[in-house]
Amino acid sequence: MEYANLGTSGLKVSRIALGCMSFGRPGTGRDWALDADAAKPIFQQAVDLGITLWDTANTYSRGTSEEITGEAVKRYTSRDQVVIATKLFAPMGPGPGGRGLSRRAVFEQLDASLRRLGTDWIDLYQIHRFDPHTPVEETMEALHNAVKSGKVRYLGASSMWAWQFSKLQYTAQLHGWTKFISMQDQYNLVAREEEREMFPLLSDQGVGSLPWSPLAAGLVTRPWGDASTTRGALNPTADASGTPLFLDSDRGTVDAVQRIAQARGISMAQVAMAWVLRNPVVTAPIVGATKSHHLADAVAALDIDLGKDEVTALEESYTPRRPTYYGSESGY
C-alpha cells in the first residue's frame, strides 16, 4: 500500500479508500449492500492490504452503514489505525435538524454519526452537497466549531460546482475558520468533467481529490453491455433530472479498456483504476467493494504505469456531458 497526505494537510491516508456505502442492514434501501456478516471478509481484507481510509455517510442505508463500519473498526483493527470519514446533508429525519447544513443540522447529525460509529471523533467530516438554503457563513462557522470541539479533526466536501466550493473555501479563509482539505467528486473514464474547473481549483487550493465511482459503477470493468452483477443490473441509466449517466460513445472507452487489459494480461478494473490514480490531484479513489477482487484490483493498480499510447486510447472516445450532482441545485 502507498500512503499520501490528503491535500496539503498533515493527514496521511492510504491511496485506496474503502467505500462503505456497500454495507447496510437488510431492508434499508440498497438490495446489493452487504450486511455485517457478509462484510466481514471485506473489512478484514482492507486491514490486511493496509487500507486505512474508510468512507461512509449518515444517509447510507439509513445510518446502518455507519453502524457496521463502527463495529468493524472495533472487531478488525483499532481506532488509532484507521481514518474514518463520514458525511451529512441528505434527509435523516423530518425535524429542522434532520437535513441540510444549518447550524442545528451540523451539530445534530454530527452527534448522531458519532453514536452510530461508536467513536469520540471523526477524522474527516464532509458535506455531502452544497446547501442553497443555508448561508455559507452559518455552515462554515458551525463546521469550524465542530473542529474546535474536538469531535472532528478535518473537513471535506463532495459533489458541487467549482464556484460553490470556492465560495465556501473563501468564506472560511475570510473569517479564519477551518477550510476543507478534500473534495469527493465523481471521476472516472466516462465522467471527466471535473478536469475543467474543479481539479484546477483543488490544485490551486492544495485540496486532495477522493473520487467516488472511479470505475463508473462497474461500467468500465466488463465488456460493453454486460450487466451480469447485481448492482450492474440495478444501476439507473439517467439521473433524477433525466440526464443520461452513460452515452453510446462510452463504448469506445470501454472497448479500449478491454483491449489494454487483454494485452497486459490484467483485469479491466486495474486498467481503469490506474488511469484515475495517474491524475496528480487524486489522493485516493473510493472503492465500494462487495467482492474480494474489488480491493485486490484497486491495490494492484497502484503499480501500473500506463503508457502514452494507452492513455490516448483510453481518452480519445470521451464525450463531454453534464455532471450529475444530485441535490446540488434543488437542495433537498
Sign of CA dihedral 95, 97, 100, 102: positive
Maximum Cα–Cα distance for the chain, whole Å? 56
Cα-to-chain-centroid distance, residue 190:
16
Which positions ≥6 away from 33 have C-beta within 8 Å?
A: 21, 22, 23, 24, 61, 65
Instruction: Tell me which of 3, 60, 170, 318 is the catalytic residue.
Output: 60
What is residue 83's predicted lDDT score, i.e. its pLDDT?
98
**326 classed as catalytic:** no
What is residue 237's predicted lDDT score, i.e. its pLDDT?
61
**C-alpha dist (Å) from residue 45 to 15, 72, 174:** 15, 12, 43
Name all domains of the chain by residue range, CATH numbers in brackets.
Answer: 3-315 (3.20.20.100)
What is residue 242's predicted lDDT score, i.e. its pLDDT?
61
What is residue 9's predicted lDDT score, i.e. its pLDDT?
98
What is residue 325's predicted lDDT score, i.e. its pLDDT?
58
Q: Phi first, then psi: what are they for 4, rounded to 5°?
A: -150, 155
Contact 283, 208 (CB under 8 A): yes
What is the pTM for the complete model shown? 0.93
Contact 32, 21 (CB under 8 A): no
The CA distance from 78 to 300, in Å, is 25
The CA distance from 320 to 323, in Å, is 9
Task: Output the tens digit of pLDDT for each of the chain's 332 residues.
Answer: 999 999 999 999 999 999 999 999 988 877 889 999 999 999 999 999 999 999 999 999 999 999 999 999 999 999 999 999 999 999 999 999 999 999 999 999 999 999 999 999 999 999 999 999 999 999 999 999 999 999 999 999 999 999 999 999 999 999 999 999 999 999 999 999 999 999 999 999 999 999 999 999 999 999 998 765 544 544 556 555 565 678 899 999 999 999 999 999 999 999 999 999 999 999 999 999 999 999 999 999 999 999 999 999 999 999 998 876 544 444 44
What is residue 236's predicted lDDT score, i.e. its pLDDT?
55
What is residue 326's predicted lDDT score, i.e. its pLDDT?
47
